[in-house]
Structure 1
Amino acid sequence: MRKSIATVCLSGSLTEKLTAAARAGFDGVEIFENDLLASLLSPEEVRARTADLGLGIDLYQPMRDVEAVPEEDFVRNLRRAERKFDVMRRLGTDTLLVCSNVSPHALDDDTLAADQLGRLADLAQEFGIRVAYEALAWGRHVSTYDHGWRIVEQADHPALGVCLDSFHILSRGSEPKDLEGVENIPGEKIFFLQLADAPLMAMDVLQWSRHYRCFPGQGGLDVTSLVRHVVNAGYRGPLSLEVFNDVFRQADAGSTAVDALRSLIALEESAGIAPLPALVVPSGVAFAELATADPQPVTELLAGLGFQRTGRHAGKPVELWEQGNARILLNHGTDTPHSRLRSSGDTPIDGTALAAIGLETPDPRSAADRAESLLAPVLPRRRREADISLDAVAAPDGTELFFCATRRPEHPDWTSDFTPTVGSADGIVTGVDHVALTQPWHHFDEAVLFHRTVLGLRPHESVDLADPYGLFRSRALSDETGAFRLVLNLAPSPAAETRTRAQHIALATDDITSAVRRIRAAGAELLAIPANYYDDLDARYVFAPGELDMYRELDILYDRDEHGGEFRHCYTATVGRVFFEIVQRTGGYRGYGAVNAPVRLAAQRR
């Protein structure tokens, strides 16, 4: 289906917004009236600009407080509408959005509303324009889509139809049965479909709408079901995004537009409109690649954690360090993922950084095909003819994701690029439990959508973590079994991000106390935990004799879930922008020890 986006979704001038929409691949735009009013371009110049970019203008919006008013007010509204219709003719667009009246002076009279909308449609028809009537969730008297449709049906005018907006319908808590009524509206009378998602929040619906909308798949509304019903009704017009979001209005318009189009492509798949290459869900972490200009502190830390250097790349300054099934690539060359990794200010990130993750993937080629179909940037890779070919894409934060099959005979094995060195992979670490990535402040929702749609990961609930200087927002994603886990964190503010954008790799062990004793004996520094924390643990839980004393001695943090599952973990010092976590899960524990995050964050600040 045709894909469109309202200019209100994007930051910048009208020209910048149009350019971003076109570059992302949209077919059309909704021109938000304020964007036109603030532009130096005439309507004719806007029309020419959109045509040059390959865009159509699918809607002009909005016109407010038109219907169900005293006659003298309506006469003034018709005069206003005539001027707007002339502007639309100059723009070359034929559909006007009219919102249900929110004025306290509006009259509760459906017959009057239908009559006045019919007269408005009479005038519109003279200009070759259609009027799409939208029921706002906070409309004075018309606030539901079925009420809006009854008024349109009563007016019975060929130039008058409805605009359905997913936010206005779903924000009112519509049940699945409530959405079935959409199919009672003839498809040809659904003039336009606007789409937005939103996180589930207990707040005034107007403020919720104006500040917290997001793209489909980023929130908690069932946009997919609504789209299915609208398509079943016979609607064949554009799928158009109308998202009011404070972050999007400040973020780069180009990346926001790409994220927006990705959301519509994924929505088409989930609604059964257009298929995509099948999901290929990662089954684990093949490797984590650290890039650094100074390898010594990292090699000392890896050795202290029990890793051994088991290979060197045959053609690049990259080392393979292993322990159990955990693999770390240490890249200290000049042409590295690290040199391309960017912060939100578009400046290189200094110091050791987690630059790439190898995703253990059942079918790497199919995984790459799906990623490309969902607009993931495919990354070129400089390689020798003898090197194994690995497909890679960039995540929204710049982290490179490689699709790998490790030591499986049916697929090329990336480890064959490494010349073995003396060293054993045996150790007390069994593998990578999860990887945590701190996102640039304006990429958090984009990152959630990216990893959900491209990799097929299931998002968990967002949690807020108290940092001494603000709140971190954190959201975990995983496959259904928990074999692959990823945590996305959002720094408290753009300013805080520049000093706290650390990434971390959590290493799994079956015996954390033995692991910590070995790490300390090897001279590696672990994060010191205050005594007050252990006093609180003593108040909250009953431990076996000596157990709590051992945690206190070894700086191990502890959590227990409602099912009796237990989580023991500790942290290394930070090297550059990377630190390691050692974790032990027992009893089916599936969380991440979020209750301990404030203590950890405060300790890292110190």
Structure 2
Amino acid sequence: MKTSIATVSIGGSLREKLVAISRAGFDGYEIFENDLISSPMSPEDIRSLSDDLGLTIDLYQPFRDFEGVSESQLARNLKRAAAKFDVMKRLGVDTILACSNVGTAIDPSDQLAIDQLGKLSEMAEFFDVKIAYEALAWGKFVSTYDHSWSIVQAVNHASLGLCLDSFHILSRGSSLDKIAEIPGDKIFFVQLADAPLMSLDVLTWSRHYRLFPGEGAWDLPAFVLAAISAGYSGPLSLEIFNDTYRQGAPTLTARDGHRSLKTLEDETIGISSSHSQTSFKNLDPLPLLQVPRGFSFVELQPGEGDQLVKVLSALGFELAGAHRRKAVELWTQGDARIVINNDLTGTQAELVGVGVEVADIDTLTERARSLKARLKPRDIESGEEELVAVEAPNNIDFYFGELTGVNPKWSSEFASLNSKSSQETALTHIDHIALRQPWQRIDESVLFFRSIFGLEIDDGQDIASEFGLVRSRSLVNKDRTIRLALNVTPTGADGRQTFSDHIALSTVDILKTAKLLRSNGLHVLRVPQNYYEDLTSKFEIDKDRLKEMQDFDVLFDSNEDGNFFHFYTQPIGSLFFEIIQRVDGYDGYGASNAFVRLSSQRAIDVKGLVK
């Protein structure tokens, strides 16, 4: 379907916004009145620029506080409307958004609103424009879409129809069922926004916390399905009020918005199988999802010195081979693979790449390209595996490759690949990876992993730290063989030591592993005695077991599904490792212990990580 976005959704001047909207791939846009009024361009200039950029102007908005007013106010409102209609003709836009009155209405009776909107519709017919009437969720007398539809029906004028806005409908918890009763040709416009679930007044919620589709908690595919099933065939348009988006780069925000709409179209197709397909011929499907089946490897920059190698050795990893032509090493233990890229010359150890296993590389590549992800083909020569990477919003590369047999294809590029470990193996596989996120790009990251890789939003947590709350969101595949924790560090946090990426490695016996790794010379993150004294007040733990846990700085969490044991290495540059054991069906990350870890990391004086 045709894609559109309101200029209020992104930052910058009007010219910057329009260029960004065009480059992102939108077909058109809604012009927000403030953007027009504050622009040095005339309406004719804006129309010409839009034509040059290949954009249509789909909606003029907003026209506020018209109906339900006194006769004298109505006269002023009609004069104001005539001026707006004239500007619309100069811009070349034929539809205006009229919001239900929130301030100047004096009479709650529908009849007054019907009579006055009828007069507005007659004026619109004279100017050859249309009015999309929208029920604002905080409207004074009209605040639901079914109420606004009853008024539009009563006016019964060809120039008056509805605007259905997902925020105003879903924020009130309104049922979508009545949309089916609205003829498609009376739905003049559809606006889309997602949102997190919040306990706020609806006006504040709307003005500051809207999100692009797929970044929040609402079922927007069901909303779009309802509108299309009713016969709507116009643009799908984003109207997003979000302080963070407007502070970001216009090109990035517009690209993210377009990605969200294309993903929403694809998801709507996915739930439309039980409906007549004739209504959905304008929806554009994406290449099929290729949900990752597991982690293939992580790629690390070693930093200066040999601390990373020492820590990997102490963790029980072995050098499995060196790449045949690159300064790259493969370290393995169980099904966990760590690639050290010695061609990278940064001064500190850092996570730079993550490899995942998929069924079809080509299809995933096409999907990523369709969603305008930044593809980064791998440097390869004849006989080497073609790994494709996409750059995530936090600048970490995510590679995708196919798994064949026990080892991935690319592992054959490493000479002297060891098939059998010479030491006791304690760790089995990568359980999850936690990634730091720039505060202004966390929602973009969620959409990135949902839309390209098909990961599902699992949960969200706010974790206390000495600098403030760390906002955390988790994404997983269905089988939980892929788990990503996205962590937003507090604004103003100094240094990278406390807020780092980390790799969680699984074991089947946490205390046995802790003893083994301690004997290997691994220094772990120390846990205060107060933690263990408090633990006894929360859980019934055998005294001897608790003593062992304290001796080896093992933390504990439990819920109705099972138990969770974990401990951490001390930081290595901007990353650290976590060793975990899940017991029974425990599905979390030990978030209740995160504040202890953050405090301990903040307190340490790093003088060497391994004996």
Pair in the same fold by TM > 0.5: yes
Q: Which residue of 2 aligns with 1:271?
A: 268
Distance 2:67 2:329 in 1: 71
The answer to whether the 8 Å contact 1:478/1:485 transfers is: yes
Structure 2 counterpart of 1:281? 291
Indicate if the aligned counterparts of 2:510 and 2:566 stay in contact, CA closer than 8 A.
yes
Instruction: Judge conservation of contact 2:132–2:160 (CA < 8 Å) in 1.
Output: yes
State the match for 2:94 in structure 1: 94
CA distance in structure 2 between the aligned counterparts of 1:64 and 1:496, rounded to whole angstroms:
45
**CA contact 1:441–1:497 (8 Å) conserved in 2:** no
Deviations 1:157-206 (A, max 9, x none): 111111110000110012xxx21111111111111000001111111000
Instruction: Work out whether 1:220 is the aligned partner of 2:217.
Output: yes
Inter-CA distance 122–221: structure 2 relative to 1 (3 Å threshold): same
Alpha-carbon distance in 1 for matches of 2:427, 2:242: 43
CA positional deviation for 1:258: 1.2
Asked if the contact 1:526–1:570 (Cα under 8 Å) also holds between the matched residues in 2, the reply is: yes
Match of 1:344 in 2: none
**For the Cα contact (< 8 Å) 2:497–2:602, is it kept in 1?**
no
Aligned equivalent of 1:171: 171
**Which amino acid is 1:552 matched to?**
Q
> Over residues 439-478 of structure 1, what are the superposed CA-to-partner deviations in whole Å (9 max), with x where a residue is unaligned?
1111111111221221121211211000111100111111
Q: Which amino acid aligns with 1:325?
A: D
Q: 1:392, 1:402 within 8 Å by CA — same for their partners in 2?
A: yes
Aligned counterpart, 2:606: none
Q: Please give the secondary structure, in 2, of the residue aligned with 1:162.
A: strand
Structure-2 residue corresponding to 1:9: 9
**Unaligned regions of 5+ residues in structure 1, if any?**
339-349
Residues 257-307 of structure 1: CA deviation (Å, up to 9, x unaligned): 111111111111121233222222111110000023425111111111111
The correspondence of residues 131-280 of structure 1 with structure 2, limited to 5 A, is: 131-174=131-174, 178-272=175-269, 273-280=283-290
Which one-letter code corresponds to 2:169 in the other structure?
Answer: I
Name the stretch that deviates more: 247-256 or 229-238. 247-256
Structure 2 residue aligned with 1:341:
none
Tell me which residue corresponds to 1:346.
none
- Name the CA distance, whole Å, in 2 between partners of 1:59 and 1:495: 42
Q: What do the CA deviations read for 1:199-242 (whole angstroms, capped 9, x no partner)?
A: 11111000110111101111112221111111011110000000
2:119 counterpart of 1:119: yes
Label 1:481 to 1:160 Cα distance change in 2 as closer, same or farther (>3 A): same
Aligned to 1:324: 334
Decide whether aligned partners of structure 1 residues 156 and 497 sit closer, same or farther in structure 2, where only a CA change above 3 A counts. Answer: farther
Partner of 2:536: 538
Q: Within 5 Å, which residues of 2 pair with 1:355-370?
A: 355-370=352-367
Contact preservation (8 Å) 1:294, 1:332: no
1: CA distance, partners of 2:325 / 2:14: 48
Contact 1:472-1:490 at 8 Å conserved across structures:
yes
CA separation in 2, counterparts of 1:8 and 1:413?
48
Task: State TM-score, norm by structure 1.
Answer: 0.94
* Cα displacement (A) at 1:404: 1.7
Distance in 2 of aligned mates of 1:540 and 1:147: 52
Tell me if structure 1 keeps the 8 A contact 2:507–2:581.
Answer: yes
Consecutive unaligned residues of structure 2, counting only runs of 5 or more, are 270-282, 604-611
Q: 2:557 aligns with which of 556, 559, 584?
A: 559
Q: Is the 8 A contact 1:570 1:583 kept in 2?
A: yes
User: How do 1:279-428 and structure 2 match up within 5 A?
Assistant: 279-294=289-304, 296-334=306-344, 351-408=348-405, 413-420=409-416, 424-425=420-421, 427-428=425-426
Q: Name which of structure 1's ranges 417-426 and 246-255 shifts more when overlaid on structure 2.
A: 417-426
Assess if the C-alpha contact under 8 Å between 2:137 and 2:143 holds in 1: yes
SS in 2 for 1:285: strand
Find the aligned partners of 1:99 and 1:105 in 2 and give their Cα distance. Answer: 12
- Give the aligned partner of residue 66 of structure 1: 66
Distance of aligned partners of 1:510 and 1:107 in 2 relative to their CA distance in 1, 3 Å threshold: same
CA contact (8 A) 1:133 1:161 kept: yes
1:465 to 446, 463, 466: 463
Distance, in Å, in 2 between the alignment partners of 1:44 and 1:496 is 49
1:69-113, CA deviations, whole angstroms, 9 ceiling, x for partnerless residues?
A: 111101101111111111111111111101000015432121121
The 1:500–1:192 alpha-carbon spacing in structure 2 relative to 1, beyond 3 Å, is farther
Task: Look up the match of 1:35.
Answer: 35
Identity level (%): 49
What is the CA-CA distance between 1:494 and the residue it aligns to?
5.8
Please list the CA deviations of residues 416-453 of structure 1 after superposition, one character each: whole Å capped at 9, or x if unmatched: 11112668446111010111111111111111122122
**Aligned-pair distance for 1:412?**
7.3
1: CA distance between counterparts of 2:224 and 2:489? Answer: 34
Q: In 2, distance between residues paired with 1:311 and 1:460?
A: 36
Match of 1:347 in 2: none
Residue type at the aligned position of 1:383: I
1:486 aligns with 2:496: no
- State the TM-score, normalized to the length of structure 2: 0.93
1:568 aligns with 2:565: yes
Q: Which position in structure 1 is the counterpart of 2:46?
A: 46
Contact 1:388 1:413 in 2 (8 A): yes
CA distance in 1, matches of 2:389, 2:251: 21
- Contact 1:280 1:361 survives alignment (8 Å): yes
How far apart are residue 496 of structure 1 and its match? 5.2
Residue 342 of structure 1 corresponds to which residue in structure 2?
A: none
Map Cα deviations across residues 557-577 of structure 1 (whole Å, 9 max, x no partner): 0011123x1111001111111
Structure 1 residues 50 and 294: alpha-carbon distance in aligned structure 2, compared to 1, 3 A threshold:
same
CA contact (8 A) 1:324 1:427 kept: yes
Report how many aligned residue pairs link the two structures. 588
Structure 2 counterpart SS, 1:358: strand
Cα 1:313–1:494 change in 2 (3 A) is farther
For the pair 1:521 / 2:519, whether they are aligned, the reply is yes
User: How many angstroms apart in 1 are the aligned matches of 2:433 and 2:291?
Assistant: 16
User: Residue 128 of structure 1: CA displacement?
Assistant: 2.0
The 1:44/1:104 distance shift into structure 2, 3 A limit, reads: closer
Runs (4+) of structure 1 exceeding 4 A deviation are: 421-426, 494-501
Given that 1:295 and 1:330 are in contact with CA atoms closer than 8 Å, whether structure 2 keeps it comes out as: no
- In the TM superposition, what is the alpha-carbon distance from 1:492 to its structure 2 partner? 1.3
The answer to whether the 8 A contact 2:69-2:104 is kept is no
* CA displacement 1:469-507 (0-9 Å, x = unmatched): 110011111112212211111111265586654110000
For 2:576, the equivalent position in structure 1 comes to 579
1:371 deviation in Å?
2.5
Match of 1:50, SS?
A: helix
Q: Residue 272 of structure 2 corresponds to which residue in structure 1?
A: none
Distance in 2 of aligned mates of 1:416 and 1:97: 61
Task: Please tell me whether the aligned partners of residues 194 and 217 of structure 2 are also in contact (alpha carbons under 8 angstroms).
Answer: yes
Other structure's SS at 1:546 match: helix
Q: CA separation in 1, counterparts of 2:506 and 2:85?
A: 65
